[in-house]
Structure 1
Amino acid sequence: MHGFLATAARHGRLVLVLGLAAGIALPGLALAMRPWIGEMVAGLLFLAALRVGPKQAVGALGDLGASVGLAMLFQVVLPLAAIALFAVTGMTGAAIATFFVLMLAAAPVTGSPNLTIMSGNDPAPALRQIVVGTALLPLTVVPVFWLTPSFGRAGDVLAAAGGLMALIALATGAAFLLRATVLKNPSERAVRSIDGVSAIAMAVVVIGLMSAVGPAMRETPLIFAGMLLLVCAVNFTIQIVVATLARRAGHDGRAAALGIVAGNRNVALFLTVLPAETVDPILLLIGCYQIPMYLTPAVLGRFYRR
């Protein structure tokens, strides 16, 4: 079993691509898996916390203060700037505008530590940003929803954010308890096994988010291609800009993690709390968004390992 998991860890980028391919090729399976996304995401977070451990995840108080500032920048300043831009260009209410505002308002995706590991960097800053960003989400989402009434009631999003925070607390708490008792000093063999399980789990999770992609590729290929190019350009640009700025500011050790959490957000959180007339037009964009997210280690791996 260890050999199989070690192979999955060593070829993690390929495993993610296979997950994307399965989600596109099997839309029926994707639809069947969508109701279980929350539980699968919790499992991903548990594995990430187990891999990192409590000491690295918490870090110094100064790091936590910086994480709060970054969460305000990523989840408040950027979406408000996007709202202003779309208002000036007359695109407010368009599906593309709705998606990008929601994406920027979301906390980092829970798979960010795993993406950081596959990119050859320390996952601890990414895990810390997930916890802080999600904890602050009930506050950061208020101005965004207040300025965009079509998103629905902010109270529903606050409730969803609270539920997600409870899920994060449970998953990370269980992982840290296990690290404090059974896996105090995990061997390299154990770490590789955890990385292998994480890669496989991420490949499984993405299948449930790709239900709209397969039909779009077959029925409206040009629209699909245009949306895919757009989300790839935005995602990778955000990652490169944030990581580059972090490096220039002297934060080489966490530049990769910051770039990854800035560009890859948990927009799926909003699927269960927004009205159907808001969600339905952006399902394809959400599916397309998983592609650059899961291709991050393959496309930007060399950039992040520099």
Structure 2
Amino acid sequence: MIELLTIVARYGRAAMVFGLLAGFALPQLAATLKPWLPELVAGLLFLNGFRIGASRALAGLREGISSLKTVVVLQMILPVVALLCFAGLGLLATPLAIAVILMLAAPSLTGSPNITQLMGHAPEPAFRLMILGTALMPLTVLPVLLLLPELGDAQTVLLAALRLSGTIALTVGLAFTCRHLLARDLKERMASAVDGLTIVALVVIVIGLMAALGPAFHSAPWPVAQWMLLALCLNFGLQYACFRWLMWRGGRRIAVPTSVVAGNRNFALFLIALPASTTEPLLIFLGCYQVPMYLTAVVMRPIYAKALSPPP
């Protein structure tokens, strides 16, 4: 089993593309997996915490102010700027505006450290941004809730965000404890096996997340194509802009993990708290948004290779 998982880790990028295709081609399997998504995401978070370990995850605490600034810019300033722009255009109540604003207000995708590692970069900065961003989400989302009453009851959203923060704290704490007790010195072979298991979890998760997209593509291909174009532009555009900015500012070491986090957000978090009347039009966008997420390790790898090359 360990050898098999090691092989999966070796071909992680191809496995993630396979997950996307399976989500399209196997709608019944996707529908079966969909109810288990919360447990699968928690399992993925546990694997991340176990693989990285407390010592490596917390080694960057001295960079806490820098990480805090990054979270505030990504999760608070960007969505408020987008909100004001849409308001100025008279489009604030449209599904397009709500999708963009919520995506920008969301914390990092749980799988961002894995995506970063698949491209050969250190996953710890992405892991720290994911933990910090999720913990601060109840605060960073407040301006959006106050300025966008179309989202519904702010108290419901905040309570859901607090529950999420608590769940992540417990899961990561358990992962750190298990790593300390069972594998304080994780050998390379076992680390590769954990990476392979993480890839399997990512593949299973994306199949479940694609449950609504396949049928929608067959029944209404043009709206799906429009949402797909928006998802691709948002995800890859944010990643490229953030990468170029950080490289220009001399942040080569954190450029890739921060850029991956900038484009890959846990937009699905809002779907568990907002009213169905608000989220129903956004389900197709959620499915489309998985495509650039799972193609990041393939599409953005040549661009991010600049961060691995020695500086001139």
**In which range does the TM-score fall when normalised by the shorter chain?**
over 0.9
Deviation digits for residues 159-204 of structure 1, max 9, x if unmatched?
1111111221122111111221221111111111111011110010
Q: Structure 2-normalised TM-score?
A: 0.95
Deviation digits for residues 76-125 of structure 1, max 9, x if unmatched?
10000110111122211111111110000011011111111111100000
Deviation (angstroms), 1:242: 0.8
- 2:249 alignment counterpart: 249
Deviation (angstroms), 1:303: 1.6
Find the aligned partners of 2:50 and 2:249 in 1 and give their Cα distance. Answer: 30
Identical pairs, percent? 43
Find the aligned partners of 2:153 and 2:91 in 1 and give their Cα distance. Answer: 21
Question: Where does structure 1 lack aligned partners over 5 or more consecutive residues?
Answer: none
Question: Where does structure 2 lack aligned partners over 5 or more consecutive residues?
Answer: 307-312
Q: Structure 1-normalised TM-score?
A: 0.97
- 1:231 alignment counterpart: 231
- 1:84 alignment counterpart: 84
What is the root-mean-square deviation in Å for CA atoms of aligned residues?
1.2
Find the aligned partners of 2:33 and 2:140 in 1 and give their Cα distance. Answer: 29
Letter in 2 for 1:176: F
- 2:11 alignment counterpart: 11
Deviation digits for residues 139-161 of structure 1, max 9, x if unmatched?
11111011111111111111111
Deviation (angstroms), 1:59: 2.3
Letter in 2 for 1:169: A
- 1:37 alignment counterpart: 37
Letter in 1 for 2:275: P
- 1:128 alignment counterpart: 128
Deviation digits for residues 62-86 of structure 1, max 9, x if unmatched?
3122111111111110000110111
Find the aligned partners of 1:31 and 1:159 in 2 and give their Cα distance. Answer: 28
Find the aligned partners of 2:93 and 2:289 in 1 and give their Cα distance. Answer: 19
Q: Contact 1:58 / 1:64 at 8 angstroms: preserved in 2?
A: no
Deviation digits for residues 215-248 of structure 1, max 9, x if unmatched?
1221122222222122101110100111221222
Number of aligned positions between the proteins: 306
Q: Contact 1:40 / 1:205 at 8 angstroms: preserved in 2?
A: yes
Find the aligned partners of 2:9 and 2:173 in 1 and give their Cα distance. Answer: 24
Equivalent position SS for 2:250: coil
Letter in 2 for 1:182: L
Find the aligned partners of 1:212 and 1:133 in 2 and give their Cα distance. Answer: 28
Deviation (angstroms), 1:305: 2.6
- The farther-off stretch of 31-40 and 5-14 is 31-40
- 2:112 alignment counterpart: 112
Equivalent position SS for 2:141: helix
Letter in 2 for 1:150: E
